[in-house]
Amino acid sequence: MGNKNISSRFRRLRQNQPLRDMVCETQLYPKDFIYPLFVIEGDDIIESVESMPGVYRYSVDNLDGILSEVNESGISGVLVFGVPAHKDSRGTEAYNKDGIVQKAISHIKSKYPDMIVIADICLCEYTDHGHCGLVCRDEILNDETLPLLAKMAVTTVQAGADIVAPSDMMDGDVAAIRRELDKNGFINTPIMGYSAKYSSAYYSPFRDAAGSAPGFGDRKSYQMDCRNVKEGLREIENDIAQGADIVMVKPALAYLDIVRAASDRFDYPLAVYNVSGEYSMVKAAAINGWIDERKVVTENLTAMKRAGAKIIITYHALDMAKWLKEEF
Q: Is residue 207 at the binding interface for ligand PBG, with CB under 6 A as the rule?
A: yes
Q: Which residues contact 188 (CB under 8 A, 6 or more apart)?
A: none
**Which of 250, 283, 305, 310 is labelled catalytic?**
250
Could you tell me which stretch among 12-20, 52-60, 132-140, 296-304 binds Zn ion (CB under 5 A)?
A: 132-140
Q: How far is the CB of 38 from ligand PBG (least distance, A)?
A: 10
Among 161, 275, 311, 321, binds ligand PBG (CB under 6 A): 275
Q: Which of residues 111-130 bind Zn ion (CB under 5 A)?
A: 122, 124
Q: Which of residues 63-122 bind Zn ion (CB under 5 A)?
A: 122
**Which of 87, 197, 283, 305 is labelled catalytic?**
197
Q: How far is the CB of 267 from ligand PBG (least distance, A)?
A: 25
Question: What is the chain's length?
Answer: 328
Residue pair 219/199 in contact by the 8 Å Cβ criterion: yes
Q: Is residue 33 at the binding interface for ligand PBG, with CB under 6 A as the rule?
A: no
Which one of Zn ion, ligand PBG, none is in contact with 275 (Cβ closer than 5 to 8 A by kind)?
Answer: ligand PBG
Q: How far is the CB of 290 from ligand PBG (least distance, A)?
A: 22
Convert 91-105 to b/e letters by CB count within 10 Å (16 or more is b).
bbbbbbeebbbbbbb
Q: How far is the CB of 185 from ligand PBG (least distance, A)?
A: 27
- Binding string, 138-177, against ligand PBG, x = CB under 6 A? -----------------------------x----------
Which one of ligand PBG, Zn ion, none is in contact with 276 (Cβ closer than 5 to 8 A by kind)?
Answer: ligand PBG
The answer to whether 250 is a known catalytic residue is yes
Distance CA 165, CA 96 (A): 17
Q: Is residue 122 at the binding interface for ligand PBG, with CB under 6 A as the rule?
A: yes
Size of the site for ligand PBG (CB under 6 A): 11
Q: Is residue 120 at the binding interface for ligand PBG, with CB under 6 A as the rule?
A: yes
- The residues binding ligand PBG (CB under 6 A) are 120, 122, 124, 132, 167, 203, 206-207, 212, 275-276
Q: Which residues are catalytic?
A: 197, 250
- The residues binding Zn ion (CB under 5 A) are 122, 124, 132
